Structure 1
Amino acid sequence: MGSKYSLTWDLDVFFPGGSESPEFQRYLEQLEVDVKTFSAKVEQTDVQNTNDLDSWHEIVETVQDLSRRLGEASAFISCLTAQDVKDEGAKILRGRLSQVGAAFSAGMNQLDHLIKQTDQENWNRLLRDSRLQPLAFPLEERRRRALEKLPADQESLAGDLSVDGYHAWGDLYNAIVGRITIPFEEDGKTEQLSVGQAANKLSSPDRQVRQTVFRRMNEAWEHESELLASSLNHLGGFRLNLYRHRGWDSVLKEPLDINRMSEQTLTTMWEVISQNKGKFLQFFERKASLLGVSKLSWYDVYAPIGSDNSTVSYDQAADFILEHFRQFDPNMADFARRAFAERWIEAEDRPGKRPGGFCTNFAQSGQSRIFMTFAGSASNVATLAHELGHAYHQHVMNDLPQMVQRYAMNVAETASTFAESIVADASIKNAASREQKITLLEDKAQRAVAFFMDIHARFLFETRFYEERRKGLVSAARLRELIVEAEKEAFCDALDEYHPYFWASKLHFYITGVPFYNFPYTFGYLFSAGIYNRALQEGPAFAQKYVDLLRDTGRMTVEDLAHKHLGVDLTKPEFWQGAVDLAKADVDQFLELTEGD
């Protein structure tokens, strides 16, 4: 008997023929032409004539149209490269699209220059125009950011130099990691593992395996530590220099601005987390005793406990998700049913796919596609719910202007984590055995540990690294000290052994697109938990409020979003405390179930 739901997605509905699609070739060619036309038009626009509201409206409409079409092309190529890592045609298309994207960015830089040159009186008049008023938030944000940067020619120069400077140091990191191999002995023969393969061994139930891999990985990181320290120092140095020229004092200015949040909100969030870590130390103690050790080491924190190996079919997972989405909001369930029925999801377990999972949005078609590999585990069910949450977030925004659909990383996880929470709680409630319930609760508690402690350590390290980098280069030996100090503080000195090369092993420190690629995760997790807490209190009546909140994620600061839709002040501890209490309740349940084990 076949599956009720297909495990493979339908991409032909967009462009038939995959990477060889003639239709997609024509689409890209037209996009190239239109981007060039746009860039030329903006360059020729005289700032003196930009008081003409019709011209502004036309430019903004073009920007939104091109953004939608670039998004469509990008989503299609992402899907092609994910479903078959050997698709050479897709790789060529990606290279071509990145050139189109660069040309569009150049045009947008010119537009920023026009926005910057417009005097305040005319700017206010422009924002009052009924056609542009719905876009006031992103347009104001663009103007403010343009005014805070260097003159356009200097920003362009910095951008050009960053290709072989700043971004090159990020590329060097990837090249170093790509060549690292870690020897590992299994079944009497030694294998050379990649960093990714070795990292997977850290979740082995065998402590000897975890410990051996951890030691070997650290030897590999130590061997490359001088080069990796050089990469990290130059990335930090480039940022600090650029910030200095722009007149920016704080290294947090850019990441906070990207995430549309205030430093006060960030400080309050970390303070509440720090005050509530005691409960998670109890979790560590219990986990240590279940693993048969006196104290957890770094490589034990995410080790599996319990022996629940039960699996579910894809159809069962889909039906379970639909049933529990429906209990919260029938509209959310109907949307998910459409995603299953119209083959929006690629879940087949087969070779040749890239690892991981994602949800991508086809901006012009108003559809999403979800990528994952489903093997029947509880975490696969959670991932499926998570990605459907992302797709639902996009779905409720599809009728809005393109410019106000752009939400930041910290609120991007709101709907996904919310959807996952609905399904995770239902799974715990419906667990077939005590063992299964313990495994599911431990998984939830571990997620909280990742956000409250692991990511806190990254944030503390990165903040202190920048403080020292201002004074000069930071040696590999000092980086080891800084990371262990941060880990000890974030984990309340509860571990037996720490990770002195975490600064070298974590890609997030070397990502050039976004600095401080850490705190938005914790914010997103807790913000979503706080919203979920409200949903538990208010029941189905909350469903419409939830949709209204999601629709506003691209057009206001997080403080305004929380105040408007939840009536809370994110700079005060109460909201955060309520969210943390949910995670503590999971730990309490875990402690209760494992009492005496």
Structure 2
Amino acid sequence: MNQTKYKSVWNLDSIFKGGSGSPDLHDHMIQTEVYIKELDEKLKEWKTPREESDAYQIADILHELREIKLCISQARSFVICLLAQDPKDQVAQSYRGKTTALLSRYESINSRFKKRLAITEKSLWRNLLETKELKEYRFVLTEWKDDADREPSQEMSDLMVDGYHSWGEFYQSFMSSIKVEVKNQELSVGQALNLRSHSDPSVREESHRALVEKWAEHEGMFAQILNHLAGFRLNMYKSVGVEDVISVPLAQNRMKEETLHAMLSVIEKNKEPFADYLNVKAKMNGDSKMKSFHFGSLMNHEQQSIEYSEAAALIEEQFHGFGTEMGQFAEKAFGEGWVEAENRPNKSAVAFCAGFPQIGESRVFLTFNNTFKGILSLVHELGHAFHNHAMKSVDGINKQYPMSLAETASTFAEMIILEAAMEKANSDEEKLFILDEKLKRSVMNFMNLHARFIFEKEFHEERKKGFVSATRLNELMKSAIERGYDGSLDEIPIHSWVWTPHFYKTESPFYSFPYTFGYLLALNFFAKAKETGKEFEQHYLSLLEDSGSMSAEDLVMKHLGEDITEGAFWEKGMRLCIKDSEEFVRLAASLAK
């Protein structure tokens, strides 16, 4: 095997040569600021549309907004990558503040534009949307007009830079600075969390207890960060008349409330099969109940050591098996250094995919831990990157897809690998191993993420009344996990609110249900792919291309002919997961004889 083909350290120089000291990055930032100033001046002169010929001006402003957003995304993604590989890079930290300020100014300009559109006379608005200049942007423009009332004021936007986004950035920096000792070795949080799937149960437990000690030591600081984030968010919502905190993430995910309720109701009534799986696995580990730090344990330790080059080659092979476009994408991503996977200290704890829409590329970041789980983490992020790849030819304004559909693409990529592994399994032990990995994802989506949703909802309600202490946050987390896991988890990780980065994301609050949405939706799409064969790739690409310009409901109706506001749709995906649980329980009983 060609080891050099699959380098575990990414290439950032092809984007901006020289890292945080790049002259090109410096020039890019200056030019972006010039673009923002020019558009700001133009909007000061621009009037609310009065006739159809104003479509030309609207289209012109849209194009400028598109270019500015692409410029900001390019710089912001690059800075995120720099800080992930070296959280102590002070120049990159400075650039992060600058990119956040640019993004805030962009959002402020965009907000003013939306509010002007919102007061356009209704019949004229309908006619404008039918013009050749604006027709392809009809969905996004309608969304902007409808959401204009919820846009923050100029003053609030200015405050967000140092009063909202900065708290999220501080969380990332603080978390990256934390070190723990496991087996006499100093580890980053990311490395310690990776030990949750270690073959030695004593290592898993020691890592868990070392992290718990750190969380308890710093819980007061994390409570302040979380409270300040939520407090700012609630005040921002209140200033624009938003009372229901769920309404904003629903709008961000272009999803109806009926869809969320239909999905959650199906999850609520189908906990038992996954509790059964956890109970059976706990007994196989010698416990009466699943301990949280043993959840990630592997069923077959022979699967434990997988080199990064092997993982990359496997993903490339299976992506080729799915379709030509996906296979060529994998070759490009691995061949051109899009992936940072090296297991070394002083890296960020969080795996992610960063898109660079100006050049049609992505970068994937994780700490590969030589396990099958590591392969799935890698392919998950590559699924996001493929989504970005599929959107290359889509106009910039229509590129912005919601988180729920982003998680559909990442989960779909995981399923390609899981399905291939199951087909290649030569024994019941191997099948049990693969089923365990599949069911871990079901538990995460139907139990863990449900618990996160419950916690975040209840925390925001209490935050409306005042500061929520670390002790109370622990209580809320414990209660949410007990409900989410249907009482099937032991050694409840009450500090999950500390180390779950999604609670601290300022761009996308309630980043829990989008994962579950994406998971169940991907199950349905993958079932369709198995029926259709390689021809499905074109359908899949078409779906991804539409993901930035349709509501979730319309997208699924167009590409699957299904109504996702009805529980019956979600039951289909759920039944597939329940079948996995039943097979796991059966195989475990058979092997125990």
TM-score by length of 1: 0.88
2:437 is matched with: 443
1:503 is matched with: 497
SS state of the match for residue 302, structure 2?
Answer: coil
1:120 is matched with: 122
Letter in 2 for 1:292: G
SS state of the match for residue 3, structure 2?
Answer: coil
Describe the shift of the 1:306–1:276 C-alpha distance in structure 2 as closer, same or farther (beyond 3 A). same
1: CA distance, partners of 2:472 / 2:99: 41
Per-residue deviation at 1:562? 0.8
Describe the shift of the 1:511–1:356 C-alpha distance in structure 2 as closer, same or farther (beyond 3 A). closer
**Residue pair 1:452, 1:522 contacting (<8 A) in 2 also:** yes
**Residue pair 2:79, 2:92 contacting (<8 A) in 1 also:** yes
**Residue pair 1:265, 1:572 contacting (<8 A) in 2 also:** yes
1: CA distance, partners of 2:345 / 2:485: 38
SS state of the match for residue 359, structure 1?
Answer: strand
Q: What is the aligned residue count? A: 589
**Residue pair 1:308, 1:436 contacting (<8 A) in 2 also:** no
Letter in 1 for 2:272: G
1:572 is matched with: 566
**Residue pair 1:359, 1:390 contacting (<8 A) in 2 also:** yes
**Residue pair 1:307, 1:435 contacting (<8 A) in 2 also:** no
Alignment of 1:493-532 (within 5 A): 493-532=487-526
Per-residue deviation at 1:572? 1.1
Per-residue deviation at 1:559? 0.8
Describe the shift of the 1:185–1:396 C-alpha distance in structure 2 as closer, same or farther (beyond 3 A). closer
Alignment of 1:109-258 (within 5 A): 109-149=111-151, 155-167=153-165, 170=168, 186=183, 196=190, 198-208=192-202, 210-211=204-205, 214=208, 217-218=211-212, 220-222=214-216, 224-225=218-219, 228-258=222-252
Describe the shift of the 1:540–1:98 C-alpha distance in structure 2 as closer, same or farther (beyond 3 A). same
Per-residue deviation at 1:558? 0.6
1:338 is matched with: 332
Describe the shift of the 1:412–1:53 C-alpha distance in structure 2 as closer, same or farther (beyond 3 A). same
2:5 is matched with: 5
Per-residue deviation at 1:546? 1.6
Per-residue deviation at 1:454? 1.0
1:65 is matched with: 67
**Residue pair 1:458, 1:486 contacting (<8 A) in 2 also:** yes
| Structure 1: segments with no counterpart, 5+ residues | none
TM-score by length of 2: 0.88
1: CA distance, partners of 2:199 / 2:262: 37
2: CA distance, partners of 1:14 / 1:498: 43
Describe the shift of the 1:430–1:77 C-alpha distance in structure 2 as closer, same or farther (beyond 3 A). same
Q: Encode CA deviations 1:275-297: one digit per residue, 9 max, x unaligned.
A: 22221122112111111111123
Greater displacement, 479-488 / 340-349: 340-349
Describe the shift of the 1:90–1:496 C-alpha distance in structure 2 as closer, same or farther (beyond 3 A). closer
Query: Between the two proteins, what is the percent identity of the paired residues?
Result: 38
| Structure 2: segments with no counterpart, 5+ residues | none
SS state of the match for residue 594, structure 1?
Answer: helix
2: CA distance, partners of 1:202 / 1:456: 21
Alignment of 1:284-363 (within 5 A): 284-348=278-342, 354-363=348-357
**Residue pair 1:127, 1:133 contacting (<8 A) in 2 also:** yes
**Residue pair 1:291, 1:305 contacting (<8 A) in 2 also:** no
2: CA distance, partners of 1:575 / 1:54: 42
1:393 is matched with: 387
Of the three residues 485, 498, 504, the one matched with 2:479 is 485
Letter in 1 for 2:61: I
1:279 is matched with: 273
2: CA distance, partners of 1:312 / 1:211: 23
Letter in 2 for 1:555: S
**Residue pair 1:10, 1:343 contacting (<8 A) in 2 also:** yes
Greater displacement, 9-18 / 107-116: 9-18
Letter in 1 for 2:264: W
1:27 is matched with: 28
2:45 is matched with: 44
Per-residue deviation at 1:536? 1.8
Q: Encode CA deviations 1:70-92: one digit per residue, 9 max, x unaligned.
A: 22333334444445556555444
**Residue pair 1:205, 1:305 contacting (<8 A) in 2 also:** no
Greater displacement, 191-200 / 565-574: 191-200
Greater displacement, 309-318 / 36-45: 309-318
Q: Encode CA deviations 1:101-148: one digit per residue, 9 max, x unaligned.
A: 333233223323322343323322321211111011111111111134
Of the three residues 396, 400, 412, the one matched with 1:406 is 400
Letter in 2 for 1:39: D
Letter in 1 for 2:420: A
Per-residue deviation at 1:452? 0.7
2: CA distance, partners of 1:244 / 1:102: 19
SS state of the match for residue 363, structure 2?
Answer: strand
2: CA distance, partners of 1:193 / 1:353: 10
SS state of the match for residue 394, structure 2?
Answer: coil
SS state of the match for residue 370, structure 1?
Answer: strand
1: CA distance, partners of 2:351 / 2:295: 23
2: CA distance, partners of 1:60 / 1:177: 38
Letter in 1 for 2:32: L
**Residue pair 2:182, 2:210 contacting (<8 A) in 1 also:** no
Per-residue deviation at 1:308? 2.1
Instruction: Return the index of the structure with the highest Cα Rg.
Output: 1
Letter in 1 for 2:376: A
